[in-house]
């Protein structure tokens, strides 16, 4: 059974696509989101129709898969496993990757970590001597709106 699509989860500036004849439309998040757009949203960010005409079959650079991916939420368990000697190094390296504000939001789980960011956290933790079964506090399956 297919789960219902929730348009309220679509980022406000996420580009939508109205290409009806596209062979990838059935699995393209941009097309699916447009089909579920509520009538009360008068203006939507949509791909230029002239651009759509110029795209060759299966060659769309703007295709965004509707497969959900596994995002991590928080890495307090990794921080708790760090020794005092390397805790500052870990924090500064994470801040250099994510920025100060995003580091704290991602650490607490208020912002999710992409698979690439998860690999970075694990690599830094392992480099500093933290080897454990689980590096993150939890996981969620979501659409990748940044694809």
In contact, 125 and 91? CB cutoff 8 Å: no
Angle formed by the axes of helices 100-108 and 84-98, to 10°? Answer: 110
Which one-letter DSSP state was computed for residue 44? Answer: -
Neighbouring residues of 17: CB distance < 8 A, sequence distance ≥ 6: 25, 28, 30, 31, 34, 46, 47, 52, 62
Distance CA 74, CA 3 (A): 26
Mean pLDDT, consecutive 10-residue stretches, the chain (147 aa), reads 80 89 88 91 88 77 91 97 95 97 97 96 96 96 88
Q: What is the pTM of this model?
A: 0.81
Taking only the tens place, the pLDDT of each residue in 33-54 is 999 999 998 888 998 888 887 7
Structure tokens at 81: 């496993």
pLDDT for the residue numbered 50: 82
pLDDT for the residue numbered 94: 97
pLDDT for the residue numbered 128: 96
Q: With the CA atoms of 28, 30, 32 and 36 taken in that order, what torsion angle do they form, in degrees rounded to the nearest 10?
A: 170
pLDDT for the residue numbered 2: 63
């Amino acid at each position: 059974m297919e789960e219902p699509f929730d348009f309220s989860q679509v980022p406000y500036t996420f580009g939508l696509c109205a290409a009806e004849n596209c062979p990838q439309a059935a699995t393209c998040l941009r097309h699916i989101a447009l089909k579920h757009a509520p009538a009360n949203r008068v203006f939507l960010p949509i791909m230029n129709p002239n651009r759509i005409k110029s795209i060759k079959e299966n060659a769309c650079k703007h295709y965004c898969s509707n497969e959900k991916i596994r995002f991590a939420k928080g890495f307090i368990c990794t921080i708790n496993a760090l020794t005092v000697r390397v805790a500052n190094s870990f924090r500064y390296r994470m801040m250099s990757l994510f920025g100060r504000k995003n580091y704290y939001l991602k650490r607490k789980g208020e912002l999710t970590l992409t698979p690439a960011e998860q690999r970075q956290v694990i690599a830094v933790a392992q480099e500093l001597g933290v080897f454990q079964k689980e590096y993150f506090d939890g996981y969620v399956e979501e659409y990748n709106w940044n694809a």
